[in-house]
Amino acid sequence: MTDPKSRLLIDLVSDVMCPWCLIGYRQLAIALEANGVEHEIHWHSFELNPNMPAKGQDMREHLAEKYGTTPTQSDANLANMTARGEELGFTFSFVDGFRMHNTFNAHQLLYWANEQSRQHDLKQAFFIAHFTNRRDLSNEMVLAEITADIGLDHEEAASVLADQRFAAEVRQEQNFWMQQGITGVPAIVFDRKHLVTGAQGVDNFRSVLNQLQKIKHEGSHG
């Protein structure tokens, strides 16, 4: 068995609405496998748009409002993300009318799924549901269905949302990461002390992992 201390601990702060979080994670996953790094991933919640209304917002409209993105820039950005996704075996369906949604309830279900060691699976299912299948992740019935699709209890998932059972815990977690200075995602923290932000690309992640392994090795022989 692997000594847990030799495993690389990875805290991944992200939002399900964030395409670069998905791209960054997939790049990192390839780098981890290529480098043969024993690791443990923990996902943490961050809301890019905590005030997003229940009805959501058209993605292009949202980008224009939040970042001043022109239609031409928006088209280029979406084409770039789609190409990056294809390279990583993921399909982005950025059609006209693609919408952003409020993710607070999704984060509550991810918190609950973590108690059953299924958080990673549910996170991936939410990414696919939103970006590939264009499902409304602010809809409680949709969220409970996706959760049941990975084998978790449908009724319990619906109950978690009806009770807003983990609202306080999710807010607390989000506040913790903001207090650590995290203002954008993806934010990837290795071994609780080395922060890397953004989708860095497979080669850059491999370089980071090599440096971290060197630090770990020197530390264990220091």
Non-local (6+) Cβ contacts of 217 within 8 A are none
Does some domain include residue 171?
no
Closest CA to 107 of 143, 76, 135: 143
Q: Please indicate, yes or no, if residue 221 is contained in any of the structural domains.
A: yes
125-128: long-range contacts (C-beta < 8 A, 24 or more apart)? 125/149, 125/150, 126/16, 127/16, 127/22, 127/90
pLDDT tens digit string along 68-84? Answer: 999 999 999 999 999 99
Indicate whether 6 pLDDT > 90. no
| Percent of the chain clearing pLDDT 90 (strictly above) | 90
Q: Does residue 105 sit within a domain?
A: no
Residue 55 lies in a domain: no
Span 170-198, mean pLDDT? Answer: 96
Overall average pLDDT of the 5-10 stretch:
87
Residue 99, domain member (yes or no)? no
Does 219 reside within a domain?
yes
Q: Is residue 198 part of a domain?
A: yes
Q: Which domain holds residue 211?
A: 1-46+182-222
Q: Specify the CATH number for the domain of residue 38.
A: 3.40.30.10
For range 84-95, the mean pLDDT: 96
CA distance 219 to 222: 5
How many domains does the chain fold into?
A: 1
If one compares 188 and 96, the residue with the highest pLDDT of the two is 188
For residue 159, what pLDDT is reported? 98
pTM of the model: 0.94
Looking at the domain assignment, is residue 215 inside a domain?
yes
